[in-house]
Amino acid sequence: MKKEILPYSFNLLLHFISYTKEKNAILFTYPPVDSFSSTGLIVSSKLPRFEDMYTLTIASADPKSISANKTVHLTKSVTKWFTKDGELVEGLFWKDVERLIDDYNNNRKSK
């Protein structure tokens, strides 16, 4: 019986950590090697159920850091990136992602 409880307890603990700490994060990064920045990034995404508006967010892993930039968001209908046949037009999607990255890099936090 104890052998059965341990995996479920561990799984519950991992779900709790994921829910409270990671939230909608899909990627965590380290700071670049040759950078003065001491913080990495968190990339998160959100697509609410039964909606077509997709939100992609780039934020600093340590928002209180002096080297952290302001959080940037991209919210767009997923229909803008797909053809009528349901195929992803990858170039359009990457253009928007690159624009979001540029916005993050150019958007210094003012203190």
Domain ranges, ordered by start, for the chain: 24-106
Burial class (CB in 10 A: 0-12, 13-18, 19+), 65: middle
> The tokens of 69 are what?
């930039």
Which pLDDT score, from 0 to 100, does residue 9 have? 86
- For residue 111, what pLDDT band results from cuts at 50, 70 and 90? very low
Question: Beta strand pairing status for 25-28 and 41-46?
Answer: antiparallel
**CB neighbourhood size of 56 (10 A):** 19
d(CA 22, CA 27): 9
- For residue 2, what pLDDT band results from cuts at 50, 70 and 90? low
**pTM of the complete model:** 0.73
In degrees, to the nearest 5, what angle opens at C-alpha 84 toward C-alphas 78 and 86? 60
| Spatial CB neighbours of 24, under 8 Å, sequence gap ≥ 6 | 44, 45, 46, 57
